[in-house]
C-alpha cells in the first residue's frame, strides 16, 4: 500500500476536533463505504480496513476521497452504520488501483466488533459518554440519539466462521445447480438441433426430388423456402430453449437463496440487528 496514511497528506492539527488518542489494532474487517467523491459523483464501495481504533480506521479505497470529505461506513457483520470524516490520504502506489485513507468517526465507538479491545478504548468510551453533547464536525449530520451510542455486541470468531461456511456452502450449491442446468439444457438443445437439421435435410431432398422436372427458377424458390423454414424453426427452438434455461436458472437461484436463509435462521435463532 506504500506509505502509511497516518504519515502523509494529513489534515491540519485540530481541524476535526480531537485527533486519534486510542490504540490502533491491525485488523482486516470487511466494510462498505459510500458518499460523494472529489468529482461529486456518488459511490458505494465494498472494501476492508487494515487498522482500526476506537476513534477511526485506516482502509483501502479506489475512489478519490479528499481530506475533510464526509462518508458513511457500514460494518455489515455487526449491522452498524456510522458517519466519518477523511483525515488523511496516501498517494496510490504505482501500478496499484487502490490507495489508503484514514477516517475519524463522528461518534467514536467500537463499531468494528473487536473482541477484548485495548484498555484505552474503554476509557475513551467512558469519556465519550460523560462528555457534554457537542455539535458534529459536519453541519449536515444530525445528533445521534443517546441510546444508540452504546456499542453493539460483537459477533464471536466462531460465529463469523460458521456464517462464512454457510455462505460458501450455499454458493457451492448454487454453482452446482446452475452448472447442471446448463449441461442438461445444452445437451437437450444439441439433440433437438440434430433432429431438426436431419428433418430439414430430408425436406430439402424431398422438395428437390419433386421439382426435378421444374425449371431452375422454381427449384431455387422452393429450396429457399425450405431453408427459410428450417432457419425459422431453428430460431424458434433456440428462443424456447433460452427461455427454459432462464426459468430453470432463476428457480435454482431461488432454491439456493431459500436454503441459505434456512441455514442462517437455524444457526442464528436469536441474532438480532441493533
Instruction: Give the model's pLDDT for residue 4.
Output: 43
Average pLDDT, the chain: 77
Whether CATH 2.60.300 fits 30-152: no
What's the average model confidence in pLDDT over 163-169?
63
pLDDT tens per residue across span 212-244: 667 677 756 776 888 888 888 888 888 888 888
**Model-level pTM?**
0.43
Residue 173 contacts residue 256 (beta carbons within 8 Å): yes
- The pLDDT-based confidence of 42 (bands split at 50, 70, 90) is very high
Q: Of the segments 9-23, 107-121, 161-175, which one has the largest average pLDDT value?
A: 107-121
Q: Going by DSSP bridges, is the β-strand pair 80-89/42-52 parallel, antiparallel, or unpaired?
A: unpaired
Residue 142 has pLDDT above 80, yes or no: no
Instruction: Give the model's pLDDT for residue 226.
Output: 81
Burial per residue of 158-171, b for 16 or more beta-carbon CB atoms within 10 angstroms, e otherwise: eeeebbeebeeebe
Q: How far apart are CA 144 and CA 106, in angstroms?
A: 10
Domain ranges in the chain are: 30-152, 161-267
Q: Which residue has the higher pLDDT, 172 or 144?
A: 172
Percent of all residues in the chain with a pLDDT value above 70, rounded to a whole number:
69
Q: How far apart are CA 84 and CA 6, in angstroms?
A: 16
Q: Which residue has the higher pLDDT, 84 or 132?
A: 84
Q: Distance of CA 100 to CAs 6, 132, 237, Å?
A: 9, 33, 53
Residue 33 has pLDDT above 70, yes or no: yes
Instruction: Give the model's pLDDT for residue 274.
Output: 46
Amino acid at each position: 500500500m506504500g506509505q502509511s496514511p497516518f504519515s502523509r497528506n494529513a489534515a491540519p492539527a485540530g481541524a476535526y476536533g480531537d485527533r486519534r488518542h486510542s490504540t490502533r489494532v491491525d485488523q482486516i474487517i470487511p466494510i462498505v463505504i459510500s458518499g460523494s467523491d472529489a468529482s461529486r459523483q456518488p459511490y458505494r464501495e465494498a472494501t476492508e480496513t487494515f487498522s482500526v481504533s476506537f476513534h477511526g480506521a485506516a482502509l483501502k479505497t479506489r475512489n478519490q476521497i479528499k481530506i475533510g470529505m464526509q462518508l458513511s461506513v457500514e460494518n455489515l457483520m455487526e449491522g452498524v452504520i456510522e458517519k466519518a470524516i477523511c483525515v488523511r490520504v496516501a498517494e496510490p502506489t504505482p501500478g496499484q488501483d487502490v490507495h489508503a485513507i484514514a477516517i475519524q468517526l463522528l461518534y467514536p465507538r467500537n463499531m468494528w466488533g473487536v473482541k477484548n479491545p485495548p484498555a484505552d478504548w474503554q476509557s475513551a468510551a467512558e469519556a465519550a459518554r460523560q462528555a457534554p453533547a457537542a455539535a458534529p464536525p459536519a453541519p449536515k449530520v444530525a445528533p445521534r440519539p443517546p441510546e444508540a451510542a452504546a456499542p453493539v455486541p460483537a459477533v464471536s470468531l466462531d460465529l463469523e466462521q460458521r456464517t462464512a461456511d454457510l455462505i460458501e456452502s450455499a454458493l457451492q450449491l448454487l454453482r452446482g445447480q446452475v452448472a447442471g442446468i446448463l449441461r442438461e439444457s445444452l445437451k437437450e438443445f444439441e439433440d433437438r438441433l440434430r433432429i431438426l437439421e436431419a428433418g430439414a435435410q430430408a425436406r430439402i431432398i424431398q422438395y428437390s426430388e419433386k421439382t426435378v422436372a421444374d425449371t431452375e427458377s422454381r427449384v431455387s424458390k422452393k429450396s429457399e423456402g425450405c431453408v427459410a423454414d428450417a432457419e425459422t424453426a431453428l430460431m424458434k427452438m433456440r428462443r424456447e430453449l433460452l427461455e427454459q434455461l432462464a426459468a430453470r436458472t432463476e428457480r435454482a437461484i431461488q432454491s439456493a437463496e431459500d436454503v441459505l436463509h434456512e441455514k442462517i435462521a437455524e444457526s442464528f435463532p436469536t441474532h438480532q440487528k441493533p
